[in-house]
Each structure stands twice: as structure tokens, then as C-alpha cells.
Amino acid sequence: MSAKAPAHSGTRERAVWELLAKVLDPEIPVLNIVDLGIVREVRHEVDGRMRVAITTTYSGCPATEVIRVMVRAALDAGGFTDAILEERLAPPWTSDWLTPAGREQLRAFGIAPPEESVSRPRQLVGAPQVTCPRCGSRSSERISEFGSTPCKAHYRCRACGEPFDYFKCL
Amino acid sequence: MSATAAVRGARDAVMEEAHCRYVLRLADTSLVLGQRLSEWIGHAPALEEDLGLANLSLDLVGQARLLLTYAGELEGRGRDEDALAFLRDAPEFLNLTLAEQPNGDFAHTIVRQWLLDAWQLEVYGALEHSSETRLAAIAAKALRETRYHHRFSSGWLARLGDGTPESHGRTQRALDELWRFTPELFAPDEVDERMSRAGIAPALAALAPRWSTRIDADLHAATLTRPATQPYPWHGKRGVHTEHLGHMLAEMQHLQRTYPGAHW
């Protein structure tokens, strides 16, 4: 289990974090939503119910609704049928919220993880240099800034010749 | 109710309506522009641009959903995002007139997109710091997406403008045709003024010079000429539209109008 609950979490909160770490992104089915960084908060409310706050990556991402249904199903299956599922907009998600484990899962799946950080905005100008997830070469070129899902761009490795997806920096 | 309370109540009602209309304008501009871009799917000049335009469209429709849901709550008549998107007629749409203009050729679409991307950069950039937290949260999210929308559209503007004589000519022609819709982007009316006095929205007059500077820089890179500004007869954001919106809505709303309440 790569996803970790915050240190101060109680037993029930930890149980919910564990459940959520088994919910996989429907578009990238090796990445769980905790490592994707879209679970904002798990809180044990005073009335005994659990509150789960999730956010979206891109505002038009069609996976959002599927994820909401999957989270609800996971909570139900785990016995948290009265849990409150909240969608939280602020602060907006950025690719900085991907966990190190999430980045590794992406790479292993053949998707290059984000190279830059939005906290270093100067890096955002122009096409970034991306490491090929297959052969590890730094020599790659961008084919298109837009790919098969809103979060990905299309690249090609100059060393091994393979095209690959790059998880963009937002 | 005392006389002062009655006056205050009436003033609150006017403010609430202005607030709702302000959010609806932002929503409709994104929705209509997103719908226009989706018309390119399967028709763009290259697969990469097909995906690019579809991605931009998805973002815009996603932003519109957040804004429409909010406008529906502010309105308080039980209309959700779908009711607002699919069951209003053209005069109830409050989008900027520029957004509803037909796609034309690729250059036309890029110029329209770029003019509105630059506008959204300023508007969302200011709203991100609004005291109105819900709108600020939506703007903060939309702004991040608008930045790469502008990167896409200004990149293509430069490539087309500084390209072949044919691409330069078509892009300049698109600019000359669409420029007449730009004064509406920064022409405030009583809704804008109420929102800006309340500290919710930026004063449009303050944003115009920043937009203009960005537009000039992008035009310079694209070797294009800024057209002369014309008088301002466009009132899309007041619900008075060009003939094009009705045709677009007929297609967009067809399914919900024919099979009311249909779900996936």
C-alpha cells in the first residue's frame, strides 16, 4: 500500500484512506486516486459520519463522474454508507500533488511523469525535456501538447523511437 | 417592514440578480465557445489539432458546468446545469457575441479562440483574487487551463500569421472580420458595474489595457496588423445575439428538447 493517511488520522479515517487507495483512476488504471492527489481530506465528523473531500484534476475531465461513483461504491462496500462525499474546488489541483509513488506507477505504466513543478513557473515556458519511460533517454520530442486525455501530451523518444504519453504539468 | 428595510430588500434583490447574470455570462461564454470547438472534432487539419481543439472544448464545457451550477443556485428557481444549458432559448443566453461566431476556416477558429483566451486570462486572473470565494475558486481552476489554451492559440496565431502568404492572408482576414466583436469584451454595463462596486468582479476598464498589450505582442510575433476599432453594436451578453447562436443551439439542444429528461 503506497498511499498513507496523515499521521494524526484516527482508526476509521485510516480505514477510509485505505479504501480510497484501492480506487483506481479509470483512465490510468495503475494510479490510485490518493497517489493522484485528488483526495483532499478524510474527516470523522462529530455526528459520527465520515467526510471525504475530493477534487478534480481538469475541470472538463470526463473521468471525474466515474471517480465519484467509484468512491461512493468503495465507501458503501466498506460499510461507510452514510459518508458525506464532498467536491472541493479550492485550492485547485496541480500535478505537484502527485505522490512520489504515483509518479513511479505512471513511469512503470509507460507514462512519463511531470518533469516540472508549477512552483517553479519559469520551467513552464516552452516544451519541457521529458525522459522516455521505456529506455530512460532524455532525448525526446513533443508531437502534440494534447493527447488521449486532458492530463496528457504526446511525445516520441529520439533514442528508442517509441511514442509515449507524458503526464502534463498543470 | 420599515421603509429602509424595504429599500434594502429591493437593493439586495437587484444585487442578487446582477450576481446571477454575471456568473451566467461567464458560463455561457465558455459553454458556447466549447460547443463551437467541439464542432471541429473529426474535421481539424491534423489529428494533433483535432485532439487539441477537443481538449480545449472539454475544459471550457467543464468550466461552464461549474459556473452554470452556481448560476442556477444563485437564481434559486431549481434550474440545474442541464436545464440552463439545454432548455433556454437564444435570448436567455448571455455569452459574448464573439464566442458564438461560426468556426469558419482553421485561422478563423484560432483568431476567435485567441481573442477570448486573452480575455479569459484577464478576467479569471482578476476573479481568482475576488472576495467572492466560490467564484474565486472556479476562476483559479479555470485560469490554469486558460494559460495553456492561450499558449495553443497564440502559438498557432504566430505560425499561421508568420507562415505562408496564404496562411497570413487568411489569418489577417479572420482578424479583420472578428475584430468588430471585441469592444463588447470590455464594455461594462450595469451588471458589471454593480459587481465591481461590490468588490466581486474586476472593473473591465482596468483590464482592457492589459488585454490590449498582450494582443499587440501576440500580433507582432504573428506579423499581423491590428484592425481599427469600430463602433460597438453587439449585445450578446445582454441576450441580443447574431443569427448564428440560434442555429448552434438547435443542434446542441436537439436531444434534450426531443426527449426531455433523457439520461445516459
pLDDT at A136 over 70: yes
The residues spanned by each domain of chain A are 11-95, 110-167
Residue A125 neighbours by CB distance under 10 Å: 9
Beta bridge partners of B149: none
A167 within 8 A of A114, measured Cβ to Cβ: yes
CB–CB contact A90 B140 (8 Å) = yes
pLDDT at A150: 84
In one-letter notation, the amino acid at residue B41 is I
HEC string for B9-55: HHHHHHHHHHHHHHHHHHHHHHHHHHHHHHCCCCCCCCHHHHHHHHH
pLDDT at A1 over 70: no
CB–CB contact A145 B133 (8 Å) = no
Nearest CA in chain B to A170: B144
A34 within 8 A of A20, measured Cβ to Cβ: yes
Mean pLDDT across the stretch B222-244? 95
Which DSSP string do the residues of A39-101 spell out, in sequence order? EEEEEE-TTS-EEEEE--SSTT-THHHHHHHHHHHHHHHTT-TT-EEEE--SSPP-GGGS-HH
Residues 58-117 of A with CB under 8 A from B: 58-62, 89-92, 94
HEC string for A101-163: HHHHHHHHHCEECCCCCCCCHHHHCCCCCCCCCCCCCCCEEEEECCCCCCCEEEEEECCCCCE
- Residue B136, chain A, CB below 8 Å: the answer is yes
A4 confidence band (pLDDT: 50, 70, 90): low
pLDDT at A2: 42
Q: Between A and B, how many CB-CB pairs are < 8 A?
A: 67
Nearest CA in chain B to A64: B62
- Residue B152, chain A, CB below 8 Å: the answer is yes
Q: State in Å, rounded, how far the first CA of chain A is from the last one.
A: 26
Q: pLDDT tens digits for B110-135?
A: 999 999 999 999 999 999 999 999 99
Task: Count the residues in chain A.
Answer: 170
Written as nine digits, the cell of B182 is: 471585441
DSSP H/E element including B228: none
- Residue A126, chain B, CB below 8 Å: the answer is no
A122 confidence band (pLDDT: 50, 70, 90): very low
pLDDT at A125: 54
Written as nine digits, the cell of A70 is: 467509484
Mean pLDDT across the stretch B173-191? 97
Integer angstrom CA distances of residue B222 from B104, B168, B215, B225: 20, 9, 10, 9
State what percent of residues in chain B have pLDDT above 90: 90
| Secondary structure letter of residue A164 according to DSSP | E
Q: pLDDT tens digits for B3-60?
A: 778 887 888 889 999 999 999 999 999 999 999 999 999 999 998 899 999 999 999 9
- Across the interface, of A58, A144, A148, the residue whose CB is closest to B52 is A144
pLDDT at A120: 57
pLDDT at B111: 98
pLDDT at A169: 82
- Residue B137, chain A, CB below 8 Å: the answer is yes
pLDDT at A123 over 80: no
Least confident range of A81-85, B169-173, B179-183, B258-262: B258-262
Q: Please tell me the distance in Å from B190's CA to the nearest CA on chain A.
A: 29
Q: pLDDT tens digits for A53-77?
A: 999 988 888 888 899 999 999 999 9
Mean pLDDT across the stretch B74-101? 97
B231 confidence band (pLDDT: 50, 70, 90): confident
pTM score, whole prediction: 0.91
CB–CB contact A60 B62 (8 Å) = yes
State what percent of residues in chain B have pLDDT above 70: 99
Nearest CA in chain A to B60: A60
In the block, residue with C-alpha cell 489569418: B171
Residue A152 neighbours by CB distance under 10 Å: 23
Helix axes B3-38, B190-197, angle to 10 degrees: 110
pLDDT at A126 over 70: no
Closest CA relative to residue A93, chosen from A54, A129, A62: A54
Query: What is the dotted CATH code of the domain comprising A11-95?
Result: 3.30.300.130
Which residues in A lie closer than 8 A to residue B158 (C-beta atoms)? none
pLDDT at B150: 97
Mean pLDDT across the stretch A75-103? 93
In one-letter notation, the amino acid at residue A39 is V
Closest CA relative to residue B25, chosen from B162, B145, B189: B189
A62 within 8 A of A148, measured Cβ to Cβ: no
In one-letter notation, the amino acid at residue B251 is E
A40 confidence band (pLDDT: 50, 70, 90): very high
Higher pLDDT, A119 or B221: B221
| Chain CA centroid to CA A22, Å | 13
Class (C level, CATH) for B3-229+240-258: mainly alpha
- Residue B161, chain A, CB below 8 Å: the answer is no
Higher pLDDT, A62 or B142: B142
pLDDT mean across residues, chain B:
95
Sorted by sequence, the CB contacts under 8 Å of residue A55 that are 6+ apart come out as A38, A40, A87, A88, A89, A92, A93
Q: Please tell me the distance in Å from B96's CA to the nearest CA on chain A.
A: 21
Q: What is the ipTM of this complex?
A: 0.84
Written as nine digits, the cell of A18 is: 485505505
